[in-house]
């Protein structure tokens, strides 16, 4: 069955009103329970800037598998489809062309608390919400429209505070009432909003958890920002961090072909200013601890896990060059990780960071080239052994052919010819 849902009420200002919220909730519920049915969403081409947001929302629901199709309507004709505006799957790696600059773009993330499903393991927010304890006091950094805090308030009875640079989003959060307080701050320049900066400074060390879900990579100075927000974190409290993995196979293999194409979402989001691998993130915290130690604290690190993503580009590579792909992956199993999720625990400035040190050792891939080289040599040896076996078979075949020729040319073969004919006739007569 094909089901068409009109989502035009979710575009524009009406997206925050009752009709917009209810239409979106209905569409998400249908998408989650689609079974074998095809879902078609009707959107207005006049408001195409919302397309990227809807693409992200629905493909996250469907775990990045393409089961939703989109038609785009203009004001003149509801039947006109704007092709090439929508791909059949979200590309979270390299874009087809570099989108560092996009002529018309108004990225907004209109997720809701209903989009968070802890049972879905391949999602960074699932790791984070499961790690936050019930009845905690939480600072949601980059809270946007407050869907994460709303989920924690409803499901874990948490007391939520928020920080965001988007004043419109913060006004929406205030109206919803799930956050105890919110602060309009630019974490690169928090002093620029003096009143909000002073209000935040008056807080005591009240937070059990600080959440930085896909935030740090957008900042000019993530070190100072991390120190700033952690000043209100209790000792023993944790900063929950998710970051995109620049050491993803999609990025690495595309670089070999000269591509480093920014996109509007994903690892190469065109608003990302900082890029991390699992190891480089840990090393950054290790070095930043020298600064934080002067403030009386430092961080130990725990690794919660990673989300996996295979782009269409990688699917093609795996199909065409399976052995080569697996050889590269054997040297570093993190190469298919989309996001790494960490828990940074605030400890005394003179305490040892045992978890951090262990993670550094665990992410030591200094033998990666040796592993890849050994795999290639092993395959070459296997190929050489097969070639040798084939040569031996060919040699035996030549030897047998020579023996056959010798038999056919022998006197005994000629002398026994009448007997063979007689035997042949006797067999035929039977």
What is the tens place of the pLDDT at every residue in 140-156? Answer: 999 999 999 999 999 99
Q: Which residue has the higher pLDDT, 4 or 243?
A: 243
Does some domain include residue 197?
A: yes
What's 330's domain CATH number? Answer: 3.40.50.150
Does some domain include residue 88?
A: no
pLDDT category at 373 given cuts 50, 70, 90 is: confident
The mean per-residue pLDDT over the stretch 25-29 comes to 85
What one-character DSSP code corresponds to residue 133? P
Tokens of 257: 């072909």
The rounded distance, in Å, linking the Cα atoms of 136 and 133 is 6
pLDDT at position 28 over 90: no
Contacts of 317 by beta carbon, 8 Å cutoff, 6+ apart: 253, 325
The rounded distance, in Å, linking the Cα atoms of 23 and 80 is 22
Total residues belonging to the chain: 430
The rounded distance, in Å, linking the Cα atoms of 50 and 110 is 9
Q: Within this chain, do residues 347 and 200 fall inside the same structural domain, yes or no?
A: yes
CA–centroid distance for 273 within its chain: 18
Q: Within this chain, do residues 158 and 261 fall inside the same structural domain, yes or no?
A: yes
Residue 66 pLDDT:
42
Residue 26 pLDDT:
86
Residue 77 pLDDT:
39
| Torsion sign over Cα 123, 130, 149, 207 | negative
Q: Pick from 21, 24, 8: which is nearest to 75 by CA? A: 8
The rounded distance, in Å, linking the Cα atoms of 279 and 120 is 26
pLDDT at position 320 over 60: yes
Query: For 170-192, what is each residue's pLDDT tens digit?
Result: 999 999 999 999 999 999 999 99
Residue 64 pLDDT:
47
The mean per-residue pLDDT over the stretch 203-219 comes to 96
The DSSP string of 347-366 is EETTS--HHHHHHHHHT--T
The DSSP string of 262-275 is -BSSSTTBTT----
Name the average pLDDT for the chain.
86
Q: Within this chain, do residues 222 and 319 fall inside the same structural domain, yes or no?
A: yes
pLDDT category at 115 given cuts 50, 70, 90 is: confident
pLDDT at position 429 over 90: no
pLDDT category at 365 given cuts 50, 70, 90 is: confident
Q: Within this chain, do residues 286 and 387 fall inside the same structural domain, yes or no?
A: no
Residue holding tokens 């990673």?
306
The rounded distance, in Å, linking the Cα atoms of 302 and 250 is 26
Residue 351 pLDDT:
93
Q: Which residue has the higher pLDDT, 213 or 106?
A: 213
Q: Within this chain, do residues 135 and 232 fall inside the same structural domain, yes or no?
A: yes
The mean per-residue pLDDT over the stretch 61-66 comes to 53
Q: Within this chain, do residues 396 and 349 fall inside the same structural domain, yes or no?
A: no
Tokens of 59: 């493909």
pLDDT at position 112 over 90: no
Q: Which residue has the higher pLDDT, 14 or 36?
A: 36
Tokens of 13: 């200002």
Which of 73, 103, 132 delimits the end of a domain? 73
Q: Within this chain, do residues 291 and 386 fall inside the same structural domain, yes or no?
A: no
Q: Within this chain, do residues 360 and 397 fall inside the same structural domain, yes or no?
A: no
Residue 61 pLDDT:
67
Q: Within this chain, do residues 359 and 391 fall inside the same structural domain, yes or no?
A: no
Q: Within this chain, do residues 58 and 194 fall inside the same structural domain, yes or no?
A: no
What is the pTM (predicted TM-score) of this model? 0.73
Q: Within this chain, do residues 168 and 302 fall inside the same structural domain, yes or no?
A: yes
For the chain, the domain total comes to: 3
Residue 368 pLDDT:
74
Residue holding tokens 């917009």?
20
Does some domain include residue 374?
A: no
Beta bridge partners of 162: 140, 182
Does some domain include residue 99?
A: no
Maximal CA-CA distance, the chain: 118
Does some domain include residue 376?
A: no
Does some domain include residue 89?
A: no
Contacts of 124 by beta carbon, 8 Å cutoff, 6+ apart: 213, 214, 242, 307, 339, 341
Which of 103-107, 365-369, 374-378 holds the top average pLDDT?
374-378
Q: Within this chain, do residues 333 and 278 fall inside the same structural domain, yes or no?
A: yes
pLDDT at position 308 over 90: yes
Domain extent for 66: 2-73
Does some domain include residue 412?
A: yes
Does some domain include residue 98?
A: no
- In degrees and rounded to multiples of 5, residue 215 shows phi and psi of -120, -50
| Torsion sign over Cα 312, 313, 314, 316 | positive
The rounded distance, in Å, linking the Cα atoms of 146 and 173 is 6
Residue 139 burial by Cβ neighbours in a 10 Å radius (0-12, 13-18, 19+) = buried
């Amino acid at each position: 069955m094909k089901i068409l849902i009109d989502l035009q009420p979710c575009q524009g200002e009406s997206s925050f009103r009752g009709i917009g919220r209810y239409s979106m909730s209905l569409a998400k519920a249908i998408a989650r329970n689609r079974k074998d049915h095809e879902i078609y969403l009707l959107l207005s081409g006049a408001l195409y800037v919302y397309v990227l947001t809807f693409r992200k929302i629905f493909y996250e629901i469907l775990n990045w598998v393409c089961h939703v199709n989109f038609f785009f309507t203009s004001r003149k004709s509801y039947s006109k489809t704007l092709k090439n505006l929508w791909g059949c799957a979200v590309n979270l790696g390299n874009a087809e062309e570099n989108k560092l600059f996009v002529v018309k773009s108004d990225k907004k993330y209109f997720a809701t608390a209903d989009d968070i499903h802890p049972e879905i393991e391949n999602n960074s927010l699932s790791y984070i919400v499961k790690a936050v304890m019930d009845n905690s006091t939480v600072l949601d950094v980059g809270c946007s429209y407050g869907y994460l805090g709303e989920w924690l308030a409803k499901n874990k009875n948490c007391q939520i505070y928020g920080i965001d640079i988007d004043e419109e989003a913060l006004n929406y959060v205030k109206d919803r009432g799930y956050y105890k307080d919110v602060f309009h701050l630019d974490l690169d320049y928090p002093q620029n909003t003096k009143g909000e900066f002073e209000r935040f400074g008056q807080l005591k060390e009240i937070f059990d958890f600080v959440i930085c879900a896909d935030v740090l990579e957008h900042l000019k100075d993530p070190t100072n920002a991390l120190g700033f927000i952690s000043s209100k974190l209790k000792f023993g409290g944790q900063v929950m961090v998710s970051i995109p993995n620049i050491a993803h196979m999609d990025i690495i293999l595309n670089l070999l072909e000269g591509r480093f194409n920014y996109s509007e979402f994903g690892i190469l989001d065109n608003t990302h200013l900082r890029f991390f691998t699992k190891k480089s993130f840990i090393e950054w915290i290790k070095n930043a601890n020298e600064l934080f130690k002067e403030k009386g604290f430092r961080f130990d690190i725990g690794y919660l896990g990673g989300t996996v993503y295979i782009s269409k580009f990688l699917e093609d590579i795996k199909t065409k060059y399976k052995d080569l792909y697996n050889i590269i992956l054997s040297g570093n199993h993190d190469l298919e990780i989309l996001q790494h999720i960490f828990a940074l625990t605030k400890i005394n400035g003179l305490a040892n960071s045992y978890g951090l040190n262990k993670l550094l050792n665990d992410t030591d891939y200094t033998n990666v080239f040796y592993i890849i080289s050994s795999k290639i040599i092993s395959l070459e040896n296997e190929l050489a052994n097969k070639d040798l076996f084939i040569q031996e078979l060919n040699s035996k075949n030549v030897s047998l052919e020579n023996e056959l020729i010798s038999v056919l040319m022998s006197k005994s073969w000629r002398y026994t010819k009448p007997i063979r004919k007689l035997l042949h006739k006797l067999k035929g007569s039977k």
